[in-house]
A and B are shown apart, each in its own frame.
Chain A
Amino acid sequence: MSDIATKIVARFSELGIKVQPEEVETKLDQLINKFKVPPEEARRNVINHFLKQNNIPRTEFFEKRETSQVKASEIKEDGRWVTLRGKVVQLWETNHESVSQTGLLGDESGTIKFTKWTKAGLPQVEEGKSYLFKNVVTSEYQGQFRVSLTKTSEIVPIDEDVEVGRTLVEYSGAIVDIQSGSGLIKRCPECNRALVKGACGEHGKVEGIYDLRVKAVMDDGEKVQDILLNREVTEALVGITLEQAKDMATEALDQAVVLDAIKSKLVGRYFIVSGAKLDRFILVDTIRQDTTPIDQDIMKLLSIAAPLAQEA
């Protein structure tokens, strides 16, 4: 406890403010020992008390803290303050005004989602540019990690182009569902988001741009895996180009005919996909129907299921 107190006093004196060690200790002691407040929370409380008393903004107090640089794939803990050196791989449209930018950061080890809060007042980052993201905080949501850029974070542009490593995963199983929002869709020309009933969530009614994609669910009988096929992969797999898809839809006066065609070619069949894992999806680079010979599996299984019938 006196350790915490010493640190608090030292940090305040760096800012040119004298606080009484006894006062700090008394407050900490009261919170921790009498009122059973966890030490971290007590520390925060005491710091805030002195900050208010001296009219110092919180950011100033915490700003100087240097955090260790980590790789994106090393982030495996919630609530850690770290520094990342990476490239902005993708920027997504934000769906709330409190978020100024959100997207994907990448470095040699892989990629991670990031959120830059509007309140942080940080400069805008550009897709494809590399930066040093100092003092960002990690968080976890449904087993996935992300980093937040807050008031105390810092963004320093760097000259070099950070190589983004991609961890490829392979999955094989049956496609058991094609989700809505698949097939011939329209995207917002401003933000590239898929339109719902001709309207963009952000920009309202817009003249959409046609695109072709598939959001599917694969299943190997033990776990499920969501996959995303972009236009190129979809065209090659289904054998329908975007132009043909538009013609089909025009002729039928219904975009759903494209979706039906896709479903009839994919649902209930076995596939092997590979691509980068992102969130709960695999962004598919290659997909092929599973045509691995089954004879060996049959013999192997038969030898377990009916060991005596083998010679038959």
Chain B
Amino acid sequence: MAENGSGNYSGNSSGSGSGFVREVAHRIFAAEFKESNLQSKEGHDQYSPSYLITPTGAKCNRVFIVGTLTEKEDVGTDAEFWRGRIVDPTGAFFVTAGQYQPEAAQVLAKTTPPEFIAVIGKPTTYTTKEGNVLTSIRAESMQIVDAATRDRWVVDCAKLTMARLEKLKGSEPDVVKAREHYSTDVQSYRAMVAQALESVRMK
């Protein structure tokens, strides 16, 4: 009796999401990130994390991107506030780093474009007066990397994007939300992945 009871117990508890778990950093191509505008918040208090659901169904609270820093600008008035444009094979990301991201801001401040750069950060959205949603990444950390790392990221991101497209056929709640909101054109995202891969393919 006791044996059965405890057996069930351990079976249940192993999958429970109790305690703090760090959010995974999703790999998203710029073209997909730019199209993302579906926000989702779990729970109702101010500390519950908010997520950006992308057209292929990635539910991100954190992203990891690698690309070429092509422009940067300090747009702050009182304190430094850096904005950078980071380009991957499919488009461009906007990345910001202000006084609350001092380390990332420092890296952006001292880097002269063009340079390969890796960014780990939080996706944020901004709605313009016209009602357009602009996406950007608030950098948590940022480092200069080499060309090999950038190519490896493109392949990594392609692999994960393809996996998401496969899962997009399924019935998980986030996937369903993404599909209903974006009416995702799977074929065009496949083409995006193919184009990105072609650009890093050995000639």
Segment at the interface with B among A119-127, A242-250, A296-304 = A296-304
The CB with the most chain A CB atoms within 10 A, among B21, B25, B151, is that of B25
A267 B118 Cβ-Cβ under 8 A: yes
Q: 1/0 contact trace for B1-30 toward A, CB 8 Å?
A: 110001101100110001101111111000
With contacts A39-B1, A267-B120 known, is A222 near B194, CB below 8 A? no
Which B residues lie within 8 Å of A260 (CB)? 103
Which B residues lie within 8 Å of A76 (CB)? 10
B190 A306 Cβ-Cβ under 8 A: yes
A contact face: mostly helix, strand, loop, or mixed: mixed
With contacts A221-B25, A221-B26 known, is A291 near B148, CB below 8 A? yes
Q: How far apart are B81's CB and chain A's nearest CB, in angstroms?
A: 21
- A80 partner, pick from B6, B13, B103, B151, beta carbons under 8 A: B6
A305 proximal to B (CB < 8 A): yes
Q: How far apart are A24's CB and chain B's nearest CB, in angstroms?
A: 18
Q: How many residues of B contact A (CB 8 A)?
A: 51
Q: 1/0 contact trace for A168-201 toward B, CB 8 Å?
A: 0000001011000000000000000000000000
Which A residues lie within 8 Å of B6 (CB)? 77-80
Q: How far apart are A254's CB and chain B's nearest CB, in angstroms?
A: 14
CA of A143 to CA of B17, assembled, Å: 10
CA of A142 to CA of B19, assembled, Å: 7
B176 proximal to A (CB < 8 A): no
Which B residues lie within 8 Å of A143 (CB)? 13-14
Q: How far apart are A269's CB and chain B's nearest CB, in angstroms?
A: 5
The CB with the most chain A CB atoms within 10 A, among B156, B162, B193, is that of B156
Which B residues lie within 8 Å of A269 (CB)? 118, 143, 145, 149
A78 B149 Cβ-Cβ under 8 A: no
- B144 partner, pick from A264, A298, A299, beta carbons under 8 A: A264
Q: How far apart are B49's CB and chain A's nearest CB, in angstroms?
A: 14
B201 proximal to A (CB < 8 A): yes
User: Please, which residue of chain B has its CB at the minimum distance from the CB of A264?
Assistant: B143
A221 B155 Cβ-Cβ under 8 A: no
A295 B202 Cβ-Cβ under 8 A: yes
The CB with the most chain B CB atoms within 10 A, among A40, A269, A295, A302, is that of A269
B1 A270 Cβ-Cβ under 8 A: no
A-B contact pairs, 28 of them (CB 8 A): A77-B7, A79-B6, A79-B9, A142-B18, A174-B118, A176-B64, A176-B120, A217-B22, A219-B24, A219-B64, A221-B24, A221-B27, A222-B24, A224-B22, A264-B144, A267-B118, A267-B143, A268-B120, A268-B149, A269-B118, A269-B143, A269-B149, A270-B152, A298-B197, A301-B197, A305-B162, A305-B194, A306-B191
B positions within 8 Å CB-CB of A = 1-2, 6-7, 9-10, 13-14, 18-19, 21-27, 62, 64, 66, 103, 117-120, 140-145, 148-149, 151-153, 155-156, 158-160, 162, 190-191, 193-194, 197-198, 200-202
A positions within 8 Å CB-CB of B = 39-40, 76-80, 140, 142-143, 174, 176-177, 217, 219, 221-224, 260, 263-264, 267-270, 290-291, 294-295, 297-299, 301-302, 304-306, 309
